[in-house]
Every structure is written in C-alpha cells, then in structure tokens.
Chains A and B, each alone.
Chain A
Amino acid sequence: MGKSSKDKRDLYYRKAKEEGWRARSAFKLLQLNDQFQLFKGVNRVVDLCAAPGSWSQVLSREIFEKRQETPTDVEPKIVAVDLQPMSPINGVTTLQADITHPMTLTKILEIFGGEPADFVCSDGAPDVTGLHDLDEYIQAQLILAALQLTTCLLRPGGTFVAKIFRGRDIDLMYSQLGFLFEKVICAKPRSSRGTSLEAFIVCLGYKPSATWKPTLDPDVSTEDFFKGANIGRYELREDLEYQEEKRTVAPFIACGDLSSYDSDATY
C-alpha cells in the first residue's frame, strides 16, 4: 500500500492526467528547465531510460513541435531508449534496449549518423531490490552508461542531466563529473518528493578531455570504458590496494519556485 496509493492522490499526478503527460515525471523536467533553460538552442537530444515517455513528450513539444512552427536549418532529432517498449511520440525515434549493454550505444550513435547531440538526459531508475548499496551502484552504472554515450556524442558545451539518488557514494559521482563539465549541480525539482532521495544532476558545459578519446567497443564494459579518462575513477591495480577515491559535494539547488505545489503536502 503506502507509496502507490499516495501517488494516486498526489497533486502532480492529477495535474499530469489533466495536461496529458504520461507520467508526473514531466514536471521534474519542466521545473529543471525553468531553472536551467535546458532546451535553449537544443535540436538533437537523447532521452535515455525514457519509458513511459513523459520526458520525450516534453522534448517533442519543446523541440520538435516548436521547430515545426518556426523551422530552423538544423533538423531536430530525438531518440528515446528504454528496456520497456514505448508507444510512439511525434518526432521521437524509440529504441528498446539496455543502455548498459555496449551494443546499445553503438546503435544510438548510428541513428545520429556521426552528428553530435546537444543534450543527453537520463531519468533511469533500475528495479529497486531493497539492497541499498547495490541499488545505488546499479543507479551509478546507469549514469555511467549514459555518460559513456554522452562522451561519444555530446558536443562541447552541451548539457547532461541524469537522475541520481543522493546516497552514500553520490559525492564520488559529483567529483568524477566535475572532470568533464564546467559546472555540476545537484538539483531537486519541487515536484520530486522531499521524502525521496531522488534528485537530478545537471552538468553544464561539456568539456571533453584533451588527452582521452572515448571509443565504443562491444567488448569494453562501462567500467573499462573510462580507463584513461582521468576522471578520478578507481582503476584496477595489480596490488589491489584499498584506496579512498576523491569526493566532492555539488552545490544544491531546489527548483520550481517556493509557491509551486509541494509534493509532500496533502490537502
């Protein structure tokens, strides 16, 4: 009971129904956009872990439909990927695949045909087992898989947004992302419940490493991919010595203004 029944009565849930979003998550992306103007000048997007597709709906509206009205010379492209099948959305190419599988990223790159993307987002959440450390690790793997694609596809200066759970090792992730982006911010939209650990990492201004060239290889795991990227990840050492990795705290921003709906409140 508990959580699911609460969801049903949630204000954002009702609002999503009214406005035709497939999930209440749409408001999270909208509130993030209010704060960071994520869609400005953005034409080519990858939406990872996208099912049922409310983020893709937002992207379709903001990028595809708006371009229909005022066309630009760049053709908009939106690719949505999920383990689950997704019903079609205007202007969105969907792909059913595991984003941690090396082959998946190759497929996405093929769709983009050598052109870079402006924005990569991932709202991925693995099936939670209840083993907190494992769940956080798998979550981090989803982010890394998304980041892997990002390093192969994002244009310099581009934006990366991913769902995180602010658990025990999130500071490791902040530190590693800090090597690849100008600015790393932990943002919590007000539509995300205060009682949940969920937040979003907003990485602005992609600055690819000068010394490391990311290469996708079907035999390279996400872990191995970042070898040599020099982003402070632990690399397998022959002596297997225990090492403390670098941790940093990212600045926190609550977004959506204070007077907007409070997802913890019950009326």
Chain B
Amino acid sequence: CAPIEHHGPCIAVKFYSDELLLVGNGPLLKVYNHITGEVLTSKKIFKRNKIHGIVFQRDTVGIYGARSFSILSMSQILEDDALYEEEKMVNDWIIAGEFCSKGWELYLLTAHNVVLSVDSYSKTLQWERSVFGEKSILYSGSIKVLSQWEVMVNAGTVMDGIIIWDLHRQEVVHALKGHEGSIFSVQSSAENKYIVSCSDDRSIKLWSAKTGELKSTAWGHTARIWNLKFIGDEGVVSVSEDLTARTWRITEDEQLVPVHTYELHNGRHIWGLDVNAEGTIAATGGNDGRVRLIDITVDKVDRESETFTLEQIASQCQDDYQVQKKEIVKGFWQLQCGLVLITSFGGIFQYRDGKWSFVAQKPEFNNLTLTNGFTNQNVMTFTGSNGHTVLMKFDQEGKLIKEEAIHTPVSKVINVLSAVHEDDLYLLVESPNKQDKLTLYALKDSLQVTRQLQLTKAPTFVTTCFEVSSKLIFMGFRLSSLGIYDLETGEELKLIKKLSLSDTITSIRLLQETGDDVLLAITNRDGLYVYLRYNKSSNEHVFVHTNNIRKGFLEGSLTDVDSDDFIVYGFKSSWFYIYNESRDFEVAYENCGGAHRIWKLFHDSNGYKFVYVRDGSLHIRNVPKSPLPLVLSEGTHGREIRDIAIRQGCEKLLNITGAEDTTMKLSTMDKTTGQLRNYWTVRKHTSGLQKVKFLSEDLVASSSAREEFFVWRIDEQFKYPLIALIGTLQPSSTNPDLRIMDFSHKFVYEDGSVVGVFFVNVYSDSTIKSFYFNLSTNQFTPVFSGRYKTSCLWDVRILFHDDSIYILVGGTDGHLSVWNVTQQVPFTLADGQLQLQQLGETKTLSKWDCLVQVHQNGIKDLEVFPDEQGFSVVTAGDDNGLGLVKFILSDSVVGKVVAFEASAASSTVTSLSKISGKRVAAISVDQTSRLWSIDGDKLELCDSLYTTVADTGSSDATTIGGKNYLLVGGIGLSLWEVV
C-alpha cells in the first residue's frame, strides 16, 4: 500500500516570505506560493504524528507535532525526499517551539512546562530548563525570544492561568490570573508590549507584558477560541471552534475592540493561524483541511463600501440640481459604463470613476418608476405607473447617445422585468389588472423594438422573475410555480406548480441550451434551488439537481465568471450574503439591516457589487475580485466522515462522503495527485449520516437518524455532475432517534429492464424492514418487516444463492443472523435477477433461520464472498477482532465461525472494503489499515499501514485500470493505492 494524499485537519500555517506559506496537513508539509495559489511541494515530515507547529529562522525551519520534531533547511524541504528520516523525538508533547535569535538552537516547550534546547546543527539535546514546582500540564504556550539573553516562556495551564517565566534565569516573572479553565493560546506582541490570551471561558484578555496587568477583556466568539496572533502591536486575530476568524484592534486606551468577523471553514474548529510580516494577510487552517487567506487590512471593509445621500450626489454634479423634500433614490442599474440612478422625482444621475454626474430630469417619472437595465449593452429603461417607458442608451464613456419611448398597451403597470438572450433584449410588462395580458417587448441595443407579444397567465399569478432562451420564455411566480411559454407564439407550454412547499421563485437562469433542450437554474426564496431540464419537443421536464441552502432567504444565483462555480445570494437576518455553493464557502456578506425593497447584485470579472438603498441613501458594497487566492486548499467535511461511497466501474474517482455534520459531499479525487474537487454539499439529512451507497452508476441512497432514507440520481450531462433527490421514505414512528443503520439493495427487472429496487433496511431498535422502490413513480411499497431482538442492528446484506433470497444481519450483540426470505418477497429469482411479481400485503418476517455468535459485541461492518455452497463473511468487531464465518445454504442454513483473529487491531475495527484477489482492507480506530487475505478457512495479514486520519471509521475501494484505490475516512480523508 502507498499513500497518495491526505486531507484532514490543518493545525499549522506559517508565512515564510512574502510569497511562500508553509502548511502542515497531517504529517505532510506543503509549501504554497500564496500569491499564485500553487503548491510547490508536499513532503512527509513525520511517520505517525501530525504537524502542529512551524517556526523558522532565516532558512532553517523547525517543525513539530506531538513528540516529534524536525529541523530542516528550506532547500532540503523543496528539493529532498524521504525527509521523514530526519524525524527526531522528545519524551513529551511539544506545545511550542522557537529558534534562538541566532538560529543556533531550537527551544521546545513541552506539555509539562519544560523547555528543551536542541542544537540546530547536530540536532542533539543541549539542556532542559523549568521553574521549580510548576511542572503541571499545559494546553498551550509560546516562547518569546527578546534577545540572545532574554527569553520569555508563556505557559498556559489547565487550572492556574498563565505562568510567564524567564528561560535563562528559570524564574517566574508573572502569573496572569483571571481566566477560567484551560488556557488555549497565549502570545506576545511583536515589540513585547502586550500579551494576549484566551481560554475555555471564550474571552480574550490583553495584558501588559511588562507589569502583568490585565488591560482589557474582549468577548465575541460563540465557542472556544483556539489560536491567537498579533498584528504587530496594534491588533489581534483570533480563530475559534465557532468557525470564524475575528480581527481586533488595540485602542489608544489599550482596549481590545472587534473589527471584523470572517466565516471561513466548515464543520467545526479553526486551528491554524498566522499573520504575514506586513500584517496585511492572515492564513487559517481548519478541521476541514481547508486553508484560507484573508485580507485583514483593517480599513478594508470601509474602502469597499460607499454611501451617498441624494444631497451628496447632487452636490457633486456640475449641474445645479435641487434635491426636493422627500426625494429619494427610486431605482438604479449597473451598466458597463457606470451606475445609473433615478430619483422619485425623475432625476437621473450617473456614477462613474468615483464621480457623480447629472444625466437628465424626467418629471413624468414622479413617484413610481420601475427601473431596468441591460448591463453589457449600456441600456437603461424607466417605466412609469401609467406604462410610459423611456429607453436610454449610453456609450462606453457614459454619454447618453440615444433615447426612445414605448407606450405600453396597459394603462397601469406594477412590474417590469428584463432579460437578455444573445443580442436580444427583452422587457416584460405586467399590469395589476387581472384581465390584462403580459406584454413582452423584444428590442435591439439600438433601442428599436423588433417584436411585441401578448402572453396569458393564470389570473392569480404574480410574476417574480423571467428568463428567455432562443425558443422559450420562462416565468417564475409567487407560490413557487413556473410557467414555460413559446417565444414564437406566446402560447403557454407548461405550468409546473409548487416547486417548493411555499414562497416565491426568486430567479430563473438559463445555463445551457442544445437544440430543444434547456437547462435552468431556479431559486426559491425558502432556500430550495434546482436545476431543471426541459425539452420543448417532448414538453417533458426533470429536476436534475435539488438542494437547499442552510438558512436565510435565497434571492438568486449566478455563475462565477472566473471559476464557473455556482454562487447564491440572499438575506439572512440583517445580512446580505454571497455564497459559493459549489465549494461551500462565503464570498462576502454585508450588514444591510435586513431584506430591502430596493437592491441589486451585479457581477462581472472584476467581482461583485451589491447596491441597496437604506434610509434614503445609496449604499454600494464592492467585493472586488481578490488579488490573492482565497482558498489555497479546498478541504472536506470538518466533522467525522461516517461513510464513503466510490462509484464503481468508471475512470474518475467520483465519490460521496456522508458526515456527522449531516451533509453529503459529491466530489472527485485525482487518482495520481489525490487533489480533491468538491461539486456539491448536499443538505437534505437533518442528522449525522449513517450510510451512503451507490446503487448503480447513477443511483445513490443514503440513511441517517430520524429514519431518513433518500434515493438520489446523478446526472452527468452538464459540465459538472448534478445530484437530485428522487425518493423519500416516509418515517414510520415518531421516535426521532430511530436510526436507519444500514441498507442493502438489489435491482428488480421486468422484461429484461430495471423497473425498481428491492431494499432491506435495518434499524437501531432491532427492526428490519423491506421496501420496493418503483423507479418510474419513485414510490416505496413495504414488502416485509420484522424484528431481530432488542439490540441495535449495524449491517445488512441481501444475498442470492441458487434461486433463493437471503438476508444477512449483524448488530451490537456480535451475532450474525440469516433469514431465507424467498417466500416473503414479491419477486422471483432467475439467472441472478429479481423479477417483479404482484406486490401484495406486507409480510411479517419470522424468526431467523440461523444465528451465529462471532464477536463479543458490535459487528461494525462485514464483507461477503459467495462460493459454491453459500458464502463466507468477514466481520469487523468492536472487540478488536476480525471473524470469518462460513454459511452453507441448502434447505437449511448452517453457519460456523471458521477463523477468528481476536487481536486483529488494537482498537475497534470499523470498516471493511473488498480489494481484488479475495482480500479485505480492515480499517480501525487505532488509525491503521490492515490488508487481510482470505485463504480457504484462514485469515492472513498481508500488510499494515498507519493513517493519520483520526477517528478512522469508513472506507471504500475501487479498481481503475488494474490499480486498486482505497479511500479511508474519519476526521479527514486519505487516498491509498493498494498493490
């Protein structure tokens, strides 16, 4: 076996130069060029331990983690191999490290408050120092080298606050008391003016380094704070379990005040933190393995935000514009040539290159004006309440070059929407009068109207958004309905009602059009978003992707012009958010005071611009495209991965991981580099995932507590894979704790083609239930149900032998049980295929046909190897054991344990995966994958490998091009090649 890549908690990040960032990821040290985002090298530094800290002095780098450390030169790191041979060891956990001012020696602070000095060249121990009576355990600490003779040790204890001691004099200088609980980080400022600390009590305390006096206590994080770093002597950055990084400023009266909060990671915990020498960039590393950069320049948010009152706008203009009492901003649009705005009295202004200018005054647009624009064409449209519409065309320099007017056939207008398709601009005019039709205008950017079309809609429907393709018009309505119309005739082709349970369709966007086929991205305000495929000639539609954002209102979606990522935006309490859904991170947020009536989000290759009106003023929040790569490494779930499913029989390593964080991630991994590409984070389950499996190339099922059981379909006709929910099993009980622990499936055929799926599910209350899932109606029909005993069941498999159907069940009591269910199912077995017969009454499962005790307690996983007489089962036990059980199937079922390895691991064996050549990989919580071969009645250990993925709990394997790949999951993911 050989490891390919590791994705897991990133605890250490360190800026090395203004270009290079050192990142510890498990045992690997990665060197990034953080300006370009490129990974220059990735080297394994330790054999078993994870990197917890990185320090350097000129080009000598000290790396430590657990009881290991290594001293390497930068050129060694960049050029040499087998660096793990340089690994050194001490007798205690290393809390902190620092080089002396000359770099000759590396000081290591251990968890019992002892400092060891290591010679940087010979890498041998020189001396150890401590202070008398202070050798109790530490959770954190740091070493501040002031000069060759003066070194301070900041020790964070579990009960007694912080002890600052002088390393060379071995004397306590200050005992900083005031925190409650364990100290998690303590740091000295650049000029040693201050010390900052945090603890279990969630506060940050600022102390005078000279006197030890407490200067300020700051609060803000909603969970424990793990790491702190000074920004010079002026500010502090903190990272926390609550997934945020916060910046704090030290005021003149030495108070710590909050500046900004950044949401950066997934799951739980941010550990790694560093600030560059200039104090402009911070890097963070999360439990999710993600590495992020943030621009922490203190006034950044101010620079990106602009606010103007109408008075300010008017006073900036050459022309003498008198702002009236009660005159407010009524509408605006961002054109390529600048932002154009209209007031409630018809004053039109333009904002370009930081300057406002007056464009025109249109007194006819008193009060109600509906403003639309066509950004790339530099065209604005204004519609008054009487339907009178003015079109304005600007040139690239912002000069008004043409003006036209349209008189709509309706006398009252409540809504005007715009859409663009290639060279055609469309305006849709809606009247409040239920009898009036909708009017669609098609125009060119020369402002010439080319067509006018009347559309009929259901009288109760209110249009909320619209989109045009080359043949079709799509309209979104309140009550979550969608209308599709023929662009040629205006005829309604289809009405899809109730996309979601409630609320309004907020946006429709054409993603792709091929012939009669269109793919749309549709958002609903309640958080649902879908990709819909529609074919004009067949008039059929299918949802090829369905997902939900977590909270807040969903107002629309965008495709990021640089990355092609799917971006969503909307309001969340008093915030407006822009979120990258594909990669699962926040792009930006703005405290705009809540959902507004007048707002718009614009996006182009320069970034995002959120414009809104609040208290009569115009607010512009720019989110310029970052010059820095914001995400250096994507990472995975930040919580335990409970199950992994790799799609079998295809070239790509397409996989789905299901985690404790209740989400599933659909991703691919590069076979050679192990690079992870996440496509979607699926948020349908409401409790931690139990199982996720591929049923076939494009069908997936997943289960969790609350009896959640879902069937999904993957669609790969688009440039990235899509995943849609197609089936939901209704829970049977009101016990929210009832978990579907495992499920097994077989396809059901009729006339040679697949018509449905036969499922058997096992539950935490010892019940066993079987269902038939009809693939055309997507409905579940119960087949049989029964109960084992009272213990929780962990595993189930449906097995065929001869023409009989069996189920094999394992659970917490360490027994395997087998039922012959041939008579209980509405299928017949012929040539290894289930043929559908008549679905009837739900049958009851009687007592098992065979029961065998294999383990002392829980059977965590099993793998089945069929043979002539029946099948052999390899079982993984909570009792550290691995069992081999042989079942002989005839009229009766006979099972016998033929081999048992009591100490197959030093901890629970949690997962098994079949590897070619009658082998299984057994993953255990001792972080070891062991490869066993099954030789007749024997289990033989062939190989054993250590993985740095903690809480090792899941695995899956596949064979591609003759190579075996094993994916191991826990807190992180690691990819292996198994020979």
Which residues of chain A have a CB within 8 Å of any CB of chain B? 2, 6, 9, 83, 98, 100-103, 127, 129-134, 137-138, 141, 166-168, 170-171, 174, 186, 188, 190, 194, 197, 218-224, 233-243, 247, 249-254, 258, 262, 264-267
Contacts and interface: CB of A to CB of B under 8 A. Distances in A.
A137 B138 CA distance: 12
B287 A130 contact: yes
A251 B268 CA distance: 35
Given A240-B89, A240-B90, A252-B856, A265 B790 contact: yes
B287 A265 contact: no
A170 B879 contact: no
B136 A249 contact: no
B876 to A, nearest CB: 13
A112 B87 CA distance: 45
Contacts of A129: 139, 184, 224, 226
B132 A188 contact: no
Contacts of B159: 83, 98, 101
B740 to A, nearest CB: 11
B812 A247 contact: no
Given A131-B271, A137-B111, A100 B137 contact: yes
A265 B766 contact: yes
Contacts of A242: 47, 68, 87-89
Nearest to A253: B856
Contacts of B241: 130
B790 A252 contact: no
B268 A265 contact: no
A102 to B, nearest CB: 6
B790 A267 contact: yes
A198 to B, nearest CB: 11
A186 B857 CA distance: 13
Nearest to A243: B89
B737 A221 contact: no
19 contacts: A101-B159, A127-B182, A129-B139, A131-B11, A132-B971, A171-B906, A174-B906, A194-B878, A197-B951, A219-B135, A221-B135, A234-B91, A236-B90, A239-B125, A240-B123, A243-B89, A252-B881, A262-B813, A265-B765
B857 A190 contact: yes
Contacts of A224: 112, 135
A141 B137 CA distance: 8
A234 B89 contact: yes
A2 B688 contact: yes
A170 B924 CA distance: 12
Contacts of A262: 790-792, 812-813
Nearest to B48: A168
Contacts, number: 190
B839 interface: no
A86 B449 CA distance: 83
B792 A264 contact: yes
Nearest to A1: B687
B88 A240 contact: yes
B136 A101 contact: yes
A-B interface, 4 closest residue pairs, ranked by CB to CB distance from nearest: A132-B950, A221-B112, A166-B907, A264-B792
Given A220-B135, A238-B125, A194 B812 contact: yes
Interface string B106-119: 00001111101010
B361 interface: no
A267 B766 CA distance: 9
Contacts of B68: 242
A141 to B, nearest CB: 6
Contacts of A137: 66, 93, 111
- Most chain B CB within 10 A, of A100, A194, A240, is at A240
B951 A132 contact: yes
A234 B93 CA distance: 12
Contacts of B7: none
A134 B158 CA distance: 14
A237 B738 contact: no
Interface string B248-282: 00000000000000000000110100000000000
B925 interface: yes
B879 A102 contact: no
Given A134-B52, A168-B927, 13 more contacts: A98-B159, A101-B136, A129-B226, A131-B11, A167-B926, A218-B133, A224-B135, A240-B89, A241-B89, A262-B791, A264-B858, A265-B765, A267-B765
B933 interface: no
Given A132-B951, A223-B112, A262-B812, A166 B791 contact: no
A102 B136 contact: yes
B880 interface: yes
Contacts of B456: none
Interface in B800-850: 812-814
B951 A234 contact: no
A241 B68 CA distance: 10
Contacts of B135: 102, 219-221, 224
B50 A194 contact: no
A241 B85 CA distance: 10
A197 B903 CA distance: 16
B943 interface: no
B437 interface: no
B101 interface: no
B135 to A, nearest CB: 4
A264 B182 CA distance: 32
Interface in B906-928: 906-908, 925-928
Given A98-B159, A100-B136, A240-B89, A130 B269 contact: yes
A263 B58 CA distance: 56
Contacts of B11: 131
Contacts of A103: 133
A132 B181 CA distance: 20
Contacts of A98: 136-137, 158-159
A5 to B, nearest CB: 8
A262 B111 CA distance: 38
A185 to B, nearest CB: 12
B906 A166 contact: yes
Interface string B729-750: 0000001011100000000000
Contacts of A219: 130, 132-133, 135
A252 B902 contact: yes
- Most chain A CB within 10 A, of B287, B905, B950, is at B950
Contact of A240 (B118, B660, B925): B118
Contacts of A233: 91
Nearest to B47: A242
B200 A240 contact: no
B875 interface: no
A40 to B, nearest CB: 23
A241 to B, nearest CB: 7
Contacts of A238: 124-125
A223 B738 CA distance: 45
A102 B269 CA distance: 32
A16 to B, nearest CB: 18
A217 to B, nearest CB: 10
Contact of A222 (B49, B112, B738): B112
A188 B792 contact: no
Contacts of A9: 737
B670 interface: no
Nearest to A188: B857
A237 B67 CA distance: 13
Contacts of A223: 91-92, 110, 112
B587 to A, nearest CB: 27
Contacts of B792: 194, 262, 264-266
B111 A252 contact: no
Contact of A266 (B52, B136, B200, B735): B735
B578 to A, nearest CB: 28
Contacts of B946: 168
Contacts of A138: 137, 139
B84 to A, nearest CB: 9
B926 A170 contact: yes
B158 A100 contact: yes
A141 B66 CA distance: 13
